[in-house]
Every structure is written in structure tokens, then in C-alpha cells.
């Protein structure tokens, strides 16, 4: 399944708030479609599927990528669900978003893809790059790059900077101090249901 490129508010109406996908709030509080207002009781499978879709669409990854992240999280020590969220949160595109250099994760991904972002002084154009404690995230020393980020910073997607990051707005330089803690994950999700979804499929 490829990356979603359709109407974002339609997804927000169906799955609930997705801070990484869109800054806008839907005018209608019910799900889209002809029968959106009279939804039937959801099965356990449907609930787990929705949680999985929340995760996939919020972080803008493909199904294949999410499966790889789940497998990697299972190999990590501790809670698989927490390890999964840590892997997704420490992606470069998400880190750029959380540093308030972009209003959404798709916008952050575009900045990275187009070579506007540097890691430890070198341009990195891979959105899935895993940031590590000690990494310094900056903007390419070019007027166009700095202007783009400056404009984005006027309309940040999330107002709070997570405790594991620090950011100098004047220099446009951020630093990753540690791995993100669960309480700072902005997405409202039950990650255990996602792990269960893939456990039952295996």
C-alpha cells in the first residue's frame, strides 16, 4: 500500500486528531461518508485496525515500512509498543516537525527530501533517518532554505517542544538530547493494540 495522498481532513474525521497529518480541525464531528453519523458497533479487529491506521497515517509511512518498524521494535528490550513509538518519533522528518521547523510531518518530509535539512553539518535527504542523542539538526546555509523554515516557524503544528529536544530559533539549530519519553508523544493512541494487530496477522 502506497503513502496516502488524499484529503487529510477526511482521515481526521474518521480516525480522530492526527497532529502530524494536519493542523486543521474538521467542521463536522462525525465520520465521512453516507453512513458516517450512524456507525455500527465496531469489532475488536476494527478497533485494532483503526489504531494501526492512526499510527501509519500520522507518521506518513507505508504499510511495508510499519511492518519493518514493528519487527525492529520486537527485537528491542522492554515494551514493544513503546519501542515502536520511539522509532517513529525519532525519524528525521518527525524530529524536524517536533522542532517546529514545519507545520506537519508531510511538510517536514518535503524539507528533508529537498535537501534543506542538515544533521551534524551534513545534508541528509532521507526522511526515515533515525536521529540519535547528540545529533544536531540544522538548516542548510542557503537563503532559500532559511526562508522556508522561517515561514514555517510562524505557524508551528504543535506549540510545545518535547523535553528530549532543544531548539535555538535565531540560529535555527536543534539538538537531540535523548530518546523521547512516552508522555511527550502527541498522538493519542493505544500502541499495544497495534502490536496485537500484527501479532494476530503473523
DSSP string, 92-150: HHHHHHHTTSSSSHHHHHHHHHTT-EEETTEE---TT-B--TT-EEEE-SSHHHHHHHH
Contacts of 96 (CB under 8 A, 6+ apart): 102, 108, 111, 112, 117, 137
pLDDT tens for the chain, 202 residues: list them.
Answer: 456 666 655 666 666 667 766 555 555 554 555 444 556 677 888 889 888 988 888 898 999 999 999 999 999 988 999 999 999 999 999 999 999 999 888 899 999 999 999 999 999 999 999 999 999 999 999 999 999 999 988 887 777 899 999 999 999 999 999 999 999 998 888 999 999 999 876 5
Task: Enumerate the CATH 1.10.1050.10 domain ranges in the chain, comma separated.
Answer: 8-87+185-201
- CATH architecture, domain 8-87+185-201: Orthogonal Bundle (1.10)
CATH pick for 91-178 out of 3.40.190.10, 3.10.290.10, 3.60.15.10, 3.30.210.10: 3.10.290.10
User: Environment class of residue 179 by beta-carbon count within 10 Å: exposed (0-12), middle (13-18) or buried (19+)?
Assistant: middle
pTM of the model: 0.84
Amino acid at each position: 500500500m502506497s503513502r496516502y495522498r488524499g484529503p487529510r481532513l477526511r482521515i481526521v474525521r474518521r480516525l480522530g486528531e492526527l497532529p502530524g497529518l494536519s493542523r486543521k480541525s474538521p467542521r463536522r464531528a462525525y465520520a465521512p461518508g453516507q453512513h458516517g453519523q450512524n456507525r455500527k458497533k465496531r469489532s475488536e479487529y476494527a478497533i485494532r485496525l483503526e489504531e494501526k491506521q492512526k499510527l501509519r497515517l500520522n507518521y506518513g509511512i507505508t504499510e511495508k515500512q510499519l511492518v519493518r518498524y514493528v519487527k525492529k521494535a520486537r527485537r528491542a528490550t522492554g515494551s514493544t509498543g513503546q519501542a515502536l513509538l520511539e522509532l517513529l518519533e525519532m525519524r528525521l522528518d518527525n524530529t524536524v516537525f517536533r522542532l517546529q521547523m514545519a507545520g506537519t510531518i508531510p511538510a517536514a518530509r518535503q524539507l528533508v527530501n529537498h535537501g534543506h535539512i542538515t544533521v551534524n553539518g551534513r545534508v541528509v535527504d532521507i526522511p526515515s533517518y533515525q536521529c540519535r542523542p547528540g545529533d544536531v539538526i540544522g538548516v542548510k546555509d542557503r537563503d532559500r532554505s532559511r526562508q522556508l523554515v522561517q515561514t514555517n516557524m510562524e505557524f508551528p503544528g504543535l506549540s510545545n517542544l518535547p523535553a528530549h529536544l532543544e531548539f535555538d530559533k535565531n540560529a535555527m539549530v536543534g539538538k537531540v538530547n535523548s530518546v523521547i519519553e512516552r508522555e511527550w508523544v502527541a498522538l493519542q493512541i493505544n500502541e499495544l493494540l497495534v502490536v496485537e494487530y500484527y501479532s494476530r496477522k503473523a
